[in-house]
């Protein structure tokens, strides 16, 4: 059921429509539609219509914040001529308020989830002229600020002598931030940071025995202002391949890409090869780049990769990071298999 709430200050009226990440405002003048309220000329007034459509939920196979990013309610405020104000709250697609005074208005739009936590904000101005229709776009983006990140890595006790975790977090177009894990002495290590800048990151993580890599993973991480993002990596089977870390830059805003790996076997006979193919379900017409990893080591780019001919018996995790050519969207997928 749609819920609309209006609070009027200085005796004003206004309408509203929010459009995914863009708010479109249309001002229309109503002449002679109603009596002039509060002693001012309603023929010199207009109205604003704002269309609203909430943010979509996020895709899996990556580390996401605990705070839900689905919009349940929009709160719209406007400040106009002579300090006139209005407030409107809606959970539906449209809400209309009439007799808005002619002149320049500043509009603020905030998005809230079902727990009434603010998750998005945008601001713009619109000039309403008598007898004309005006339109304006307002970019509604995730809140700027910081969130927390908590990570836990576990492995079988007694299988490695000097277990340690090497990991890096990289924003799109930025420098890698090394993550300092604390070993617990019980075949586990943890990391926690209370203040990480909100946005998307590429995380490369390796479990090592001394300097030897025994397991690894690469995933996209999203941090949201005021929320916690957490992840647990349980490396149950270990082996000892070596490799280098390649840092991949990913988007810092927009919905994540949904990546799927196909063609990869669960068990690969020793000496055989297999071709894994990555597809992206929601890239639209955007050009997509690919980066493949095997146990955290870069092994190629492109939609597909061939693995297996030089692999020793053991357990492997195949990861792919995908990102658009403009660098504003990213995603990841993984597939575990054994060589026997």
Q: SS3 for the chain, per residue?
A: CCCEEEEEECCCCCCEEEECCEEEEEEECCCCCCCCHHHCCHHHEEEEEEECCCCCCCCCCCECECCCCCCCEEEEEEECHHHCEEEEEECCCEEEEEEEECEEEEEEEEEECCCCCEEEEEEEEEEECCCCCEEEEEECEECCCEEEEEEEEECCCCCCCCEEEEEEEEECCCCCEEECCEECCCCEEEEEEEEEECEEEEEEEEEEECCEEEEEEEEEEEECCCCEEEEEEECCCCCCCCCCCCCCCCCCCCCCCCEEEECCCCEECCCCCEEEEEEECCCCCCCEEEEEEECCEEEEECCEEEECCCCCCEEEEEEEEEEECCCCCEEEEEEEEEEC
In the chain, which residues fall in CATH 2.60.40.2580? 45-142
Running along the chain, 340 residues long, what does each successive block of 10 average in pLDDT? 38 32 34 34 55 40 67 83 83 66 85 81 81 69 86 88 90 90 88 89 90 89 87 81 54 73 94 94 89 94 92 94 88 94
Q: Which CATH number fits domain 146-234: 3.60.15.10, 3.40.50.2300, 2.60.40.10, 3.30.413.10?
A: 2.60.40.10
Record the tokens describing residue 281, joined without a space. 């379900």
* Residue ranges of the chain assigned to CATH 2.60.40.10: 146-234, 259-339
* Residue 52 confidence (pLDDT): 46
The Cα–Cα gap between 93 and 136 comes to 17
d(CA 65, CA 149): 9
Alpha-carbon span 41 to 38, nearest angstrom: 9
Query: pTM for the whole thing?
Result: 0.53
On whether the 259-339 domain is CATH 2.60.40.10, my answer is: yes
How many beta carbons lie within 10 A of that of residue 79, not counting itself?
17
Q: How high is the pLDDT of residue 157?
A: 86
- Look at residue 89 in the predicted model and tell me its pLDDT: 80
Q: Shortest CA distance to 305 belongs to which of 336, 269, 274?
A: 274
* Per-residue model confidence (pLDDT) at position 107: 84
Tokens 């604003």 map to which residue? 48
Sheet of 118-128, strand order: 4-9, 85-90, 73-79, 103-112, 118-128, 141-142
CATH topology of domain 45-142: Immunoglobulin-like (2.60.40)
For residues 289 and 123, what is the distance between their CA atoms, to the nearest angstrom? 33
């Amino acid at each position: 059921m749609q819920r609309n709430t209006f609070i009027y200050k200085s005796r004003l009226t206004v309408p509203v429509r929010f459009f995914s990440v863009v708010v479109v405002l249309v001002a229309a003048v109503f002449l002679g539609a109603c009596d002039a309220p509060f002693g001012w000329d309603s023929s010199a007034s207009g109205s604003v219509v704002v269309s609203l459509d909430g943010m979509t939920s996020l895709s899996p196979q990556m580390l996401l914040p605990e705070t839900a990013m689905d919009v349940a309610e929009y709160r719209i405020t406007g400040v106009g001529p002579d300090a006139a104000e209005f407030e409107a709250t809606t959970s539906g697609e449209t809400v209309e308020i009439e007799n808005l005074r002619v002149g320049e208005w500043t509009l603020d739009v905030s998005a809230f989830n079902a727990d009434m936590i603010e998750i998005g904000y945008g601001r713009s101005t619109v000039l309403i002229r008598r007898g004309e229709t005006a339109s304006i776009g307002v970019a509604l983006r995730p809140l700027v600020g910081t969130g927390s990140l908590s990570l836990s890595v576990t492995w079988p006790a007694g299988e490695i002598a000097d277990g340690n975790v090497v990991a890096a977090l990289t924003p799109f177009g930025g420098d890698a931030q090394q993550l300092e894990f604390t070993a617990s002495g019980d075949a586990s290590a943890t990391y926690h940071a209370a203040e990480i800048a909100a946005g998307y990151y590429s995380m490369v993580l390796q479990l090592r025995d001394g300097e030897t890599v025994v397991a690894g993973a690469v995933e996209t991480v999203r941090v949201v202002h005021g929320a916690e993002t957490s992840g647990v990596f349980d490396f149950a089977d270990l082996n000892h391949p070596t490799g280098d870390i390649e840092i991949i830059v990913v988007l810092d805003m927009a919905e994540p890409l949904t990546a799927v790996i196909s063609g990869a076997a669960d068990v690969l006979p020793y000496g055989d090869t297999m071709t894994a193919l990555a597809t992206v379900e929601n890239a639209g017409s955007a050009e997509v780049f690919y980066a493949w990893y095997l146990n955290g080591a870069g092994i190629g780019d492109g939609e597909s990769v061939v693995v297996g001919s030089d692999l020793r018996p053991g357990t492997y995790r195949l990861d792919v990071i995908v990102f658009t050519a403009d660098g504003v969207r990213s995603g990841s997928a993984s597939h575990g298999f054994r060589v026997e």
